[in-house]
Amino acid sequence: MTQLILIRHGQTLWNQQRRMQGHADSPLTEAGVRQARLLAHRLKQVAFGALYSSDSGRAHQTARSVAAVTGHDIIVDRRLRERHFGVFEGLTGDEIMLRHPDAYARFKSRDPKYVVPGGESALAFRARVLGCVSEIAVRHADGLVVVVTHGLVLDMLYRVARGIALTEPRTFSLINASLNQFRFDGCAWHAETWGDASHLNEELLTSA
């Protein structure tokens, strides 16, 4: 059995502005920096064997806050990036509807095979995420690992663990800097803890 604690990065400027991020990036807000610091002190109390991070700036900045407190080296893996949203990146929902109405309609249909122009489909994203986290789990068999990543990476693993189809709308929150623990038994993923943000003040609970 391997345990993975997946963590969404701290709040970013584009989270606050409700802009699509994907492979593009924006800095942590002041709240995001505070979230990362509180997360780090929470993880100081956890005996984990390795610290992984997406190579995106927002995730790596969050991971650096953790590493500064726990002393772990950060293992960077670009496969832990957010889903690639191509031409949607950097735009708000309203801007996407205005500039790319046909693509936005296809995207909102939740067709898992649909590829956003310049981006990737939900199916391709799932394959990338599962390939990466399964490899990490096998590498650290019977251990506990922390992975700092992105909201839709959490979403994807939760769907896999709970048997939620890609076509189903999300009904659960993706809280910045929360702890989300999964167990891998060698064949299947199991969700054990979701959205644990007990280390954050109420004013720092963000999920946009």
Give the start-to-end residue ranges of the domains of the chain. 2-180
Query: CA 27 to CA 25: how far, in whole Å?
Result: 7
Q: Per residue in 65-84, pLDDT tens? A: 999 999 999 999 999 999 99
Could you confirm whether 89 is annotated as catalytic?
Answer: no
Pairing of strands 74-76, 50-53: parallel
To 10 degrees, the CA torsion angle through 193, 3, 170, 55? 120
Distance CA 67, CA 74 (A): 7
Specify the pTM. Answer: 0.96
Show Cβ contacts of residue 91 under 8 Å, excluding neighbours closer than 6 positions: 19, 20, 99
User: Alpha-carbon distance 198 to 73, whole Å?
Assistant: 25
Select which of 23, 82, 150, 199 is catalytic.
82
pLDDT in tens, 122-159: 999 999 999 999 999 999 999 999 999 999 999 999 99
2-180 to CATH, choices 2.40.50.140, 3.30.70.260, 3.30.565.10, 3.40.50.1240: 3.40.50.1240
Catalytic residue among 9, 23, 150, 199: 9
Q: How far is CA 126 from CA 25, 65, 86, 104, 196, in A?
A: 21, 28, 17, 20, 23
**Is 9 among the residues known to form the active site?**
yes
Whether residue 169 is predicted with pLDDT greater than 90 in this model: the reply is: yes
